[in-house]
Amino acid sequence: MSDFIFEIGYEEFPASFILPFVSQLKEKILSELEKQRVTVGNCREFSTCSRTALVCIGLPEKQPDIREKVTGAPKKVALNADGTLSKAGEAFLAKNKITDYFFENSEKGEVIAGFVEEKGKTLEEVIAPIVKAALHAANFKKSMRWAENTFAFARPIRWILLSIDGKPVEDDFEGIKFSKTSFGHRFLSNGALQVNAQNYYEVLAAHYIMADRTERKEFIRSEVAKKAEELGLVANIDEALLDEVTDMVEYPHVVIGNIPEKYKNLPVELVVKVLKKDQRYFTLSDKNSQVIKFASVLNNIPREDSLVIEGNEKVVSARLSDAAFYFNDDLAKDFGALKEKLKGVLFQKDLGTYSEKVERICKIAAFIAGKYFTLDDAAKERLLKAGSMIKNDLVTGVVFEFPDLQGIMGRYYARHAGFENDVCEAMYEHYLPINAGDELPKTEVGTILSMSDKIDTIVGGFMAGMKPSGSKDKFAIRRNAIGFLTVAQNYSLDIREVVEFAWNLIVPRIKNAKEEMKQEIIDFIVARYNGVLSFDTPVIQAATARDAEFPKVVAKRAETISRLLKESGISELVQLYKRGCNILKKQEFTVGTVNESLFEQDEEKNLFEEVCKVENEIKTMHDNFEIAMKILSLKPVLDAFFDAVFVMHDDMQIRANRMNLIGKVTSLVAENIGEISFLNI
């Protein structure tokens, strides 16, 4: 068996380039090896900001030889009348590079046949073309050319290591000769390193290269956390930032700096954002969540940490000085009056300005509050007050510089202006949830405005021709639909009514909007239940088959069905339910009223009495699971009915009455449990 190692060294990649490049490279090389009949045993990738490597152990030394039979034209076509090969026969031999041939029987009669033989190539012959093709196929967001090269790559290539069993492959890529040597850290190590597939990781580690990305990432995490703990502080580890920093270094070294005292009163989120966006620094907080220090990750070990820290602190001070200027300037403004500036900020060309969007949001909020919530007059006043200001921070200095802080800064500015607590919270809460698993609004004002803002964006987006298509979703309509449903599932809301109301507000702006689009919008929102409810698809299908416009009903149904699958014998009821549905479906029957006088058997009478009894009992129940269990109690009498009663009676009145009875049962199940025929039972 053989081992091979491939490493490409380059000038530092942007962090966002590295993982996609590693993925492309590994997938391309391994898939091509597989196509070349080279079975790969253990293969491991490595990456840093300046190198990507693939180390594979346990490969065959050469391809297996090939000897396989091929067949061609029928004998009468492959041979001339005199028994010599025809042009078709000669073409068959030439195409398959064979000299010996024979004829054999097949489904098409006798055909010409022969054996194709091919000697397996050595691993070296196979691997070099594959590596070169993989490098040529690499795709980057941006590429460049350097020196005399016509070849484009993300950054200039400095070396390429390609060796098998420690011996370099004799070839080159775009004039760069393959070698068997690597290089250590550009500042902490000197000279070429002799490496092979067995010692690659250890040799690099000895020369200040932490080549394993996962190990490097966890090392940074633990170092930042350890230094924070030593100082009695808490490390704020932002996962996205940790990923980015991991791909910016080869040998991480963590140093801690101080936040200047005069900036410690800035909003925590602003300090964190400045240090993350501009410096890629982690923040360290005290027990009151106040940011006290920062952690920077170096790609070097300096002679003196103190000199680096001093420089970092100067840069941080300058960055925070700018942020403080914008923040203090914003505080000096009349926050409530900033809504006038929204008249000059376009939301979307067909939907108007943010000022017009805010006006619609307030009207939708008033509708939702009046229809589905019980707010006193003071709360209604606060709702409209908050609604009129929820986008005001978009025209502030801080949010202009840091758009991700919209809502967060609005809450600070509203507090500073002295508005009521739920009004201030709504500045932030109406954006929630931003992503799956995010926190939900806690105040009624924030909850109502969250749904109002999202439904305006969804309905307006569709009407303005911004319907999501494939990966295109400029207005984040999918995310807004998921967010809307996530909030709405906790309230007795009717999606159809809310969509209708929002539609009527926007129609004056978009006169050619087609009425059928309303249903398309509703269907689009309903389809997002799969992104909201954490249940298996059949459970969600069963829960949404009816009354999908009522999120709270759907959520409770899904929870109940899931629980029934775990805790009760619902499987037999599902089979009986499917049987009943199939009978009704085959007859294309419309369910009507049951006539007791047409009963001929006790099983009919017993089932009807029990169904009526259950219908009355569940009217006083409020727990969905309790209701479901009561309906499940019908199973014995339903079972007895199907065993003893022949539904397709010759008398059409009796037949219809029995179908009405079945329909009464299936409706009771579907309306109170769900369309359980979707369950895979």
pLDDT tens for each residue of 304-326: 999 999 999 999 999 999 999 99
Nearest to 131 by CA among 176, 88, 191: 176
Domain 335-532 CATH class label = mainly alpha
Residue 516 CB partners (closer than 8 Å, separation 6+): none
Residue 57 dihedral angles phi and psi, to the nearest 5°: -120, 140
Could you give the CA distance from residue 242 to residue 113 in angstroms, rounded to a whole number?
62
For 257-272, give the DSSP string: EEPPGGGTTS-HHHHH
Token look-up 């028994």 returns 83
If DSSP states are collapsed to H, E and C, what string results for 173-191? ECCEECECEEECCCCCCCC
**Highest mean pLDDT: which of 22-26, 124-128, 579-583?**
22-26
- Peptide linkage before 433 cis (omega within 30 of 0): yes
CB neighbour class for 552 (10 Å; exposed up to 12, middle 13-18, buried from 19): middle
6-19 average pLDDT score: 96
The alpha carbons of the chain give a radius of gyration, in whole angstroms, of: 35
Q: Specify which residues 42 forms β-bridges with.
A: 57
169-195 average pLDDT score: 93
For 178-231, give the DSSP string: -BSEEE--TTT--SEEE--TTTHHHHHHHTT----HHHHHHHHHHHHHHHHHHT
Q: Give percent of the chain above pLDDT 90.
A: 65
Is-contact 25 52, C-beta < 8 A?
yes
Continuous H helices in 509-634 = 517-526, 537-544, 551-567, 570-586, 602-618, 624-632
pLDDT, one tens digit per residue, over 612-626 is 999 898 988 888 888
635-648 average pLDDT score: 88
The reported pLDDT for the residue numbered 271 is 95
Q: Residue 361 — pLDDT band, cuts 50, 70, 90?
A: very high
pLDDT, one tens digit per residue, over 585-606 is 776 667 788 888 888 889 889 9
The reported pLDDT for the residue numbered 589 is 66
Separate counts of helices (H) and strands (E) for the chain: 25, 18
Amino acid at 53: A
pLDDT, one tens digit per residue, over 367-401 is 999 999 999 999 999 999 999 999 999 999 999 99
pLDDT, one tens digit per residue, over 73-130 is 888 888 898 888 999 889 999 888 888 889 999 887 898 899 888 888 888 889 999 9
**What average pLDDT does the structure give for the chain?**
92
Domain boundaries, the chain: 2-62+122-206, 66-118, 213-327, 335-532, 562-678
Going 308 to 311 to 315 to 321, the CA torsion angle's sign is positive
For the entire predicted model, the pTM comes to 0.81
Q: Residue 66 — pLDDT band, cuts 50, 70, 90?
A: confident
Is-contact 301 209, C-beta < 8 A?
no
Could you give the CA distance from residue 479 to residue 434 in angstroms, rounded to a whole number?
8
Residue 327 CB partners (closer than 8 Å, separation 6+): 266, 267, 270, 397, 398
Could you give the CA distance from residue 185 to residue 251 in angstroms, rounded to a whole number?
8
Do the domains at 335-532 and 562-678 have one common CATH topology? no
Beta-strand pair 66-74/109-118: antiparallel
pLDDT of residue 231 exceeding 90, the answer is yes
Report helix angle 123-137 to 15-35, nearest 10: 140
Could you give the CA distance from residue 152 to residue 173 in angstroms, rounded to a whole number?
12
672-679 average pLDDT score: 86
The CATH architecture assigned to 562-678 reads: Orthogonal Bundle (1.10)
Distances (CA, A) of 322 to 190, 262, 311, 315: 41, 13, 17, 11
Residue 650 CB partners (closer than 8 Å, separation 6+): none
pLDDT, one tens digit per residue, over 494-520 is 999 999 999 999 999 997 888 899 999
Could you give the CA distance from residue 353 to residue 189 in angstroms, rounded to a whole number?
58
pLDDT, one tens digit per residue, over 443-471 is 999 999 999 999 999 999 999 999 998 88
Tokens coding 106: 């097949």
